[in-house]
Structure 1
Amino acid sequence: MFHWLPGPLNGLFSIAWLSVNTLLWFFPLILAAFLKWIVPASRWRAWCDRGLNGIAQTWVAFNNLGMALTKRIHWKVTGVESLKEKGWYLVLANHQSWTDIVVLQKVFHRRLPFLKFFLKKELLYVPFLGMAWWALDFPFVKRSSAAAVRKRPHIQARDVAETVKACEKFKRVPIAVMNFAEGTRATAAKILERGSPYTHLLRPKAAGAALVMAALKERLQSIVDVTVFYPEGPISFWRFLCGKVRDVWIHVEAIPIRQELLGDYFNDREFQKRFQKWLNDLWEAKDRRIDAMKREWQSRALGKSGEALQPAGDWDESMA
């Protein structure tokens, strides 16, 4: 409906839509969180958690509606058929842009529980969003630098304890814990600067994923491996908001939880090596997959001679 808006106006309209939608659902969210807080009964709190997650899913639905009204995006999404909204999952994805969060919320809407991230404690003070994240039980953890851990080794145990405690909240209702294992966006400059062994990705960090799996081992149904690819190249969130992104490709693969992937990451050196190797192998396969996606895109682009591309099996906006 609003696809015709010039780029900057499209971007400003998109920001206004996101802002109004966030404020609209902020107050019901805080009210539900308050009701949960004043009654400590576990069954009541579990019921409130479902209500809070329902509000969050409605917020995502309206974000998706705004995206459909302002963007012409061709989606190629594969591998989501086996996912269920009522389940426990660890989602591992590569990270290329802040756009990834909006994209993944759309792709997994009503296919997985509401995605939750580990956040730095400082983000608790972000206006409106900080309180919303708190109300939704997003885990706020202190992330100490490697240099700080070397100087004061005991703080690693504190960080681990905080993470495990945060995961306890996840056992009440189905959840999808989102982990960008690279820890930051994989730009060409960072890949070169950090000497990454991969062409398109940064080396993944294993500790966070291992801790979540160990803490939720009785609940987790599978690991959801996600490959995010923007065929037109690196994008900024502003460019996305302005409607300049035409194609988004997502590949999803559900990986069963195997016993050899569960263990004490910080105290069992053999398990640590085994888990790191497993995650590095996963990232190597993901890097090859992005290469294959890139070749497929280039082949289709040549075959279509510049026509607008919509790969077979893509979602259209009505399927979101």
Structure 2
Amino acid sequence: MSTLRGIVSLLLLTLTTLLWGLPLLLMTLVKLVTPGHRLRLAVLKLLNAIALNWIGLNLWWMRHWLKPNLEIEIPEGLSRRQGWLVLSNHRSWTDIFVLFFALHRRIPMPRFFLKRQLIWVPIVGLAWWALEYPFMRRMTAEQRARHPHLARRDQEATERMCRRAHEMPIAIFNFVEGTRFTAAKQAAQASPYRHLLRPRAGGVAQVLNLLGDQLAGIIDVTLYYDNPNPSFWGYLCGREGRIVMQTRVLPVADWMHDGNYQDNASDKERFHSWINALWQQKDERLSRF
């Protein structure tokens, strides 16, 4: 029965994507041929509206068909007219929809850092490109040192997103670990945390440095699954069990946007200390479950 539920859920997700994919494709073509910065910005706002409707429709059928067992904290003081940085641990593709359940239309249109390979996903990859999501390379410190020009392209993608945030409020979502948590990955990187991978500070530091004075705050999200090995397919089948989302809003300190993470060793050390302490607190919250 759960497999049948999963097949129906996958069909519903496909139908909603096709339903809103056609107008999105048309507006993407319009954006490509639209002259002038202001007109392209107006087209981008229409693309945002299409994407928000796609999200809302999916949340509607998931709420009524899957009836997920969610325990969600929604922080006070959120606004769609202000920019936000959302930091979260990462367990499953389901995380994205749990975040949407809590934050959809309470903060601006979300932007995620995406792996470059995802641009080839049919319809959705084109949507992410048209919505100006930054596509990043998954590189180790050694790879960045060997190929600094590729690392610089990732920085430029983040800079483009942040420049757009000066023209319209956006919410930047960052799964700071860079990949989904598994016990094998935890062991491979010798993570000091019981329930988390090591956080990657560079992208967060760059966003805060470029955009910190434009952000209303940092939304710190901790996701917990009763299922020790959650999966998006299990969620679509309605067998994922309880999912808990704890949130809190943190202020953007002056040193976060006044410092120089890339070139100043003391600024880099201060930022690493801050994000490691944040992850330690998150790990302790997860341990209490």
Pick the TM interval, shorter chain. over 0.9
Deviation of residue 222 (structure 1)? Answer: 0.8
Q: Which residue of 1 aligns with 2:222?
A: 227
Residues in 1 aligned to 2:231 and 2:202: alpha-carbon distance in whole angstroms: 28
1:291 aligns with 2:281: no
TM-superposition CA deviations, 1:138-176 (whole Å, max 9, x none): 112344443332334454334323432343233322111
For residue 103 of structure 1, what is the amino acid of its counterpart? V
1:26 corresponds in structure 2 to 21
Counterparts of 1:24 and 1:82, CA distance in 2: 33
Q: In structure 2, how many angstroms separate the alpha carbons of the residues matched to 1:158 and 1:67? A: 37
CA offsets per residue over residues 100-137 of structure 1, 9 Å max, x none? 11211222111122221122333222221111111111
Q: CA deviation at 1:254?
A: 1.0
Matched pairs, number: 288
Secondary structure of the equivalent of 1:221? strand
The C-alpha deviation readout for 1:57-83, integer Å capped at 9, x for no partner, is 110111112212321323221242221
Q: By how many angstroms is 1:9 displaced?
A: 0.4
Aligned to 1:269: 265
What letter is aligned with 1:214?
Answer: N
Give 2:46's aligned residue. Answer: 51
Secondary structure at the aligned position of 2:168 is classed as: coil
Structure 2 segments unaligned to the other structure (5+ residues): none
2:277 matched to 1:281? yes
User: Which residue of structure 1 aligns with residue 158 of structure 2?
Assistant: 163
1:120 to 115, 123, 141: 115
User: What amino acid does structure 2 have at the position aligned with 1:256?
Assistant: P
Q: Which amino acid aligns with 1:192?
A: A
- Three-state SS of the structure 2 residue aligned to 1:205 is coil
Which residue type is aligned with residue 2 of structure 2? G
Deviations 1:166-190 (A, max 9, x none): 4323332211111110111112232
- After TM superposition, the score normalised by the length of structure 1 is 0.84
- Alpha carbons of structure 1 residues 149 and 192: separation in structure 2 relative to 1, 3 Å: closer
**Aligned pair 1:85/2:80, yes or no?**
yes
Aligned counterparts, 1:91-110, within 5 A: 91-110=86-105
Deviates most, 139-148 or 86-95: 139-148
Q: Matched residue of 1:264: which SS?
A: coil
Q: What is the RMSD computed on CA atoms of the aligned residues?
A: 1.8
Cα pair 1:49 1:173 within 8 Å, conserved: no
- Alignment counterpart, residue 207 of structure 2, candidates 182, 207, 212: 212
Q: Measure, in 2, the Cα distance between the counterparts of 1:199 and 1:82.
A: 32
CA–CA distance in 2 between the matches of 1:97 and 1:121?
18
| SS across alignment from 2:192 | coil
Partners of 2:260 and 2:138 in 1: how far apart? Answer: 19
Greater shift, 124-133 or 44-53, is seen at 44-53
> Which SS does the other structure have where 1:217 is aligned?
helix
Which letter does structure 2 place at the counterpart of 1:94? N
Structure 1 window deviating more from structure 2 (176-185 vs 232-241): it is 232-241
Q: 1:121 to 1:190 in 2, by over 3 A?
A: closer
User: Deviation per CA, 1:22-57, whole angstroms, max 9, x where unpaired?
Assistant: 011011112223333333333333322222111111
Verify: 1:14 aligned to 2:12, yes or no.
Answer: no
Q: Distance in 2 between matches of 1:141 and 1:198?
A: 25
Structure whose CA Rg is larger: 1
CA shift, 1:202, in A, is 0.9
What secondary structure sits across from 1:283 in the alignment? helix
The correspondence for 2:188, drawn from 193, 202, 206, is 193
Deviating 4+ runs (over 4 angstroms): none
**d(CA) in 2 for partners of 1:162 and 1:67?**
33
> Relative to structure 1, is the Cα distance of residues 153 and 68 closer, same or farther in structure 2, using a 3 angstrom cutoff?
closer
In structure 1, C-alpha distance between the alignment counterparts of 2:156 and 2:38, rounded to whole Å: 25
Conserved in 1, the CA contact under 8 Å of 2:115 and 2:137? yes
**How far apart are the structure 1 equivalents of 2:30 and 2:280?**
46
Residues in 1 aligned to 2:110 and 2:40: alpha-carbon distance in whole angstroms:
19
- In the alignment, the residues of structure 2 paired with residue 154 and residue 232 of structure 1 have an alpha-carbon distance, to the nearest angstrom, of 41
Q: Comparing 263-272 with 226-235, which one deviates more in the overlay? A: 226-235
8 A contact 1:143–1:159 mirrored in 2: no
**114, 117, 124: which one pairs with 1:129?**
124
Deviations 1:287-308 (A, max 9, x none): 111122x1xxxxxxxxxxxxxx
* 79-88 or 223-232: bigger deviation: 79-88
